[in-house]
Amino acid sequence: MADKLNQLTLKQAVEGLKEKKFSSAELHQSIIKRINEVEGKIFSFVEIVDKENPKQIEKEGILKGAFFAVKDVLSTKDIRSTASSKILANYVPVYEATVVKKLTDHGAEIIGKTNCDAFAFGASTENSGFGPTKNPWNTTKVPGGSSGGSAAAVAADECLFSLGTDTGGSIRQPASFCSVTGLKPTFGACSRFGLLAMASSFDCPGPIGKTVEDCEIVFDIIKGKDEKDATSVFYPKKKQVKKNLVIGLPKEFFGGGVENEVKNLVSQAAKILEKEGHRLVEISLPNTSLAISVYYILVPSEISSNMARYDGIRFGSNRESFENEVKRRIMLGTYTLESGYFDQYYLKAAKVRNLVKADYLNAFEKVDLILGPVSPTPPFGIGELINNPLKMYLSDVLTVGANLAGIPGLSIPCGFTHDNLPVGLQLLSPHFSEEILFDIGRQFQQITDWHKRKPKL
């Protein structure tokens, strides 16, 4: 039993610790043993914390004794926080990100910092300054990005849960690629304080877990207003979720560019929910084809502004240390903000962003939630798209719309391709209605067992 404690869900671990079936030290030992077994194969972590002797847990709380991983773009006090970039290789913050502090205040303990695309710029975790993370299901494939290390660590049972960030799909896509569960919260539901900003009007910290239930436990702790982040809000009281929901299937999410195996698995998942009494209807999100173009104008523009602080004087070392994808996005954003191009690109994209948001708001007048694939493809090969940034960007085509609109999204496992590659199901709901996602997600995971399957490493 002690050797398999790392395989427990967060809920199981918390209940076991409370009932004294095992100790936090035994849980820690099991997790560290697993990290030692698999890290050489997948490289989920850029930093392991207190590997041999965990600090004494002083704070009481519902997560006391639970170990979690933190994406390297979230600041951790006295723990190296590099954003997986060489320019911040030796940066150790003197403060903690609010979402991290809320968890440690409830007794949870950081097991390590997870690898990601440098500054979260990427969709494969190949853009890390310290090397790529590999997919636990097939180490020749990417784990997704930019929260690839966080998703891989959960999939490989190297932690009970992890924190990631989602700017254009960076929690949902790696959760899909690694067959784990990931939540992108409503923008503003979780504080961004302590997050090394990528795009300030898009970034959303959120949980990656082994089950929907685990993600809900974490979200209920990290959500809410933070006086240190003006964009955060008081989260409204949960509403009762009605029994039978109307689920919209956007025709644009099942069209050209989405691989047939992905379409089939997601369609089968939708039919499972239909059998449970939910009603499926076809809908349209007509500006879906424009979303990726809008995203890659607005986000690099915000990146250009946010990255100006890394001048080698206030923050970071020599700017020549920036990784190639970081340089690419800074240059693209700087170009779109230049005089003469600002109106042509940035302002036009901002207007189209409102059209994309209106698509979702109009859809939610007819349906309770939206269902579709997370990614148009299963995990792709390491090195396959690294020299084709435009094709790489298209891997976000089904996820960026939720970030443009600011709505919540949930990725849950819904099956495997013929060659055993994971596929994820994406659920989207109106602003501040995460309870709908959790409710339908729990129903789905009570019926299916894809989330229980483990990779063979």
DSSP 326-381: HHHHHHHHHHHHSTTTIIIIIIHHHHHHHHHHHHHHHHTTT-SEEEEESSSSSPPB
- Note if 275 is an active site residue: no
To which H or E segment does residue 217 belong? helix 212-222
Query: Angle at CA 11, nearest 5°, toward 8 and 14?
Result: 90
Which one is catalytic: 170, 176, 304, 433? 170
Query: Angle at CA 434, nearest 5°, toward 354 and 290?
Result: 25
Q: How far is CA 389 from CA 277, 377, 379, 384, in A?
A: 42, 16, 16, 11
Tokens describing residue 91: 């940066």
> How many CA atoms within 13 Å lie on the side-chain side of 354?
5
Question: Among candidates 84, 168, 127, which has minimal Cα distance to 395?
Answer: 168
| 204-209 vs 409-416, strand pairing mode | unpaired
Cβ neighbours of residue 204 closer than 8 Å, sequence gap 6 or more: 165, 166, 167, 171, 184, 185, 186, 187, 189, 190, 192, 403
- Note if 395 is an active site residue: no
Beta-carbon count within 10 A of 163 CB = 27
Distance CA 127, CA 129 (A): 6
> How many CA atoms within 13 Å lie on the side-chain side of 183?
34
- Note if 71 is an active site residue: yes
Tokens describing residue 261: 């195996």
Which one is catalytic: 24, 44, 71, 86? 71
Are the C-beta atoms of residues 226 and 193 closer than 8 Å to each other? yes
Which one is catalytic: 146, 147, 375, 411? 146
Active-site residues, by number, are 71, 146, 170
